[in-house]
Every structure is written in structure tokens, then in C-alpha cells.
Amino acid sequence: MTNTLKISKNTRETWAYGFFGILVFLFMWQLACLYTNFGKIFPTPVYSLRAFLEAFIKPIGKYTLLGHIAISLKRVLIGYALSSVSGILIGLAMGHSKMIHAIIYPIFSIIRPIPGIAWIPLAILWIGIGEPTIYFIIFMGGFSQMVMNTMDGAQHVSKELIGVAKVLGARENQIFRKIVLPYCVPYIFTGLQTSLSTSWMAVLAAEMITAREGAGWLILAGMQTGRIENNVIGMISIGGVGLILASLLRDSERRLCRWSVRSR
């Protein structure tokens, strides 16, 4: 009983402080607009918020804000699904077999630090300018995170456990299925989480190509056409949707792997 009471008081406090924090931020934004060069080109928070709300009903370019977000979301989910599946497979292979690790790792470690934007010219040449190129850029955004995390998991499987299983006569694929795979699940989830947020961040770079819609496009179009409020709207939506995606995934992890220590 006392526990629940404490929590509700705590949540109220959390909300109050969080609200206060954002309020201070908006106030500083307003001050910056009023008293610095910033205000010459940047809209005030009040104006931006109004534009943001308006964007739900008034289309920008071809769609309303929800339409733009839905399009970006679709692109991200496709790229993310592809990078998750291939990232988990390659990560498991690299973590489990030293041979595969030795073969792939050098090339992987050079590809890993190459940013999404730098892939754009190459992707246009190889794939073209359609939606698949956008998926590719998003794919590259999430892929290396997925591989790194899964590999980490597979490399940290306790050697004793595998040893015991071997002594008891388990076959190679049994060890993989019953020990390595379950052990990796929390790591894979961490990977799924970070790669979802990096995939979502990659949408901006991806929509630089030739897109004429999407949340990332809003930012770019805002930059290119001087309607900075669109830029702000794009940033708020990318921030907000990113936040929602991250908490959704955290929630599903909590449900799916209760046994893991990580998911408290």
C-alpha cells in the first residue's frame, strides 16, 4: 500500500520537474529569439508550437505532418527490419566462430565508421534514386549497431557452460540453440534498441536524396526554402517519434525477457 502511494507521489514529482525543465528551455529559446541574432531568422517557441499544431491539419508540401511521419516511419521500419535480421545473423556468426570473425571483422570495421551521408553518392550510383536507396541508407545506419551488440553477446557466452554441455554430449547445433542463442537475447535487444534509434536518425540523411515527403524532408525543405518553422516542426517530430519508438521497444523487452538482469 505505502509503496503505491510513494510511486504516485514520485510520478507527480517527475512530471512537475520535467515540465519545469522544458519550460525553462522554452523560456531560454524565447530570450535567444528576442535578444540575439538567432531571432532574426529563427521563429519563437510560441510561433513554432502553433506551426507544429497547425501542421497536423494543414498540409506541408503534399501531406500533413502525420502523413510525413507515417512515410518516414514506413521507410525506417523496412530498413530496420532488414538490418536487424542480417545484423543478428552476421553478429551471431562472428561471435560464435572465430574463423568467421577473422574473415569479416577487418572489412566490417572499416565500413562501420562511414556515416549515412557519405553513403549517399555511392548508393545513388549503385541503386538509383528510388525508395530502395532510402532503405539502404537506413539499413547502413542500424546494421553495424546490430552486429556489434549481437557479436558481443555471442562472445561472452560462458565458456564453462559450453564446456559442461560438451561433456554431457550436446551436439554443436544444440549448444548453439540452447546456450548461445538464449544467452544473446538481452544483447540482441540492446542492439535492437540502439539500432532502432540510429535507423530513425538516419532517416534525415536518407531523405536527402530526392524525397519530397517525410519528417527528414521537412527539415531539409525548411533549410532550402527558408521556412525555418518547418525545420523546427521536423526536429520536434523526429525527437518525439524517436522517444516513442525507444520506449515501446524498452517495454517489449521488459515483457519478453523477464529473466535478464538488464531489463529491470
- Looking only at residues 17 through 76 of this chain, which bind another protein when binding is defined by CB under 8 A? 17-22, 25, 37-38, 40-42, 60-61, 74
| Residues whose CB is less than 8 angstroms from the CB of residue 41 and which lie 6 or more positions away in sequence, other chains included | 228
Least Å distance between CB 6 and another protein?
A: 13
* 25 versus 56: smaller Cβ distance to another protein: 25
DSSP state of 169: T
* 53 versus 114: smaller Cβ distance to another protein: 114
Least Å distance between CB 180 and another protein?
A: 17
* 57 versus 169: smaller Cβ distance to another protein: 57
**Any contact of residue 159 with another protein (CB under 8 A)?**
no
User: What's the grid cell of residue 230?
Assistant: 518547418
* 171 versus 262: smaller Cβ distance to another protein: 262
Residues 227-256 that bind another protein (CB under 8 A): 227-228, 230-231, 234-236, 238-243, 245-246, 252, 255-256
Nearest CA-CA partner of 240 in 73, 83, 82, 81: 73
User: What's the grid cell of residue 115?
Assistant: 556515416
Distance CA 78, CA 132 (A): 10
Please pick, from the candidates 30, 112, 162, 175, the single residue that binds another protein as defined by CB under 8 A.
112
Nearest CA-CA partner of 203 in 194, 218, 192, 216: 216
Please pick, from the candidates 183, 208, 260, 263, the single residue that binds another protein as defined by CB under 8 A.
208
Nearest CA-CA partner of 182 in 71, 92, 54, 79: 92
Please pick, from the candidates 69, 193, 200, 233, the single residue that binds another protein as defined by CB under 8 A.
200
Least Å distance between CB 90 and another protein?
A: 14
Q: How many CB atoms lie within 10 A of CB 198?
A: 20
**Any contact of residue 158 with another protein (CB under 8 A)?**
no
Contact between 79 and 137 (Cβ < 8 Å) = yes
Q: φ and ψ at 65, to 5 degrees?
A: -55, -45
Please pick, from the candidates 9, 50, 98, 177, the single residue that binds another protein as defined by CB under 8 A.
98
Least Å distance between CB 95 and another protein?
A: 10
Least Å distance between CB 175 and another protein?
A: 20
DSSP string, 83-98: HHHHHHHHHHHHHH-H
* 144 versus 168: smaller Cβ distance to another protein: 144
Distance CA 235, CA 42 (A): 13
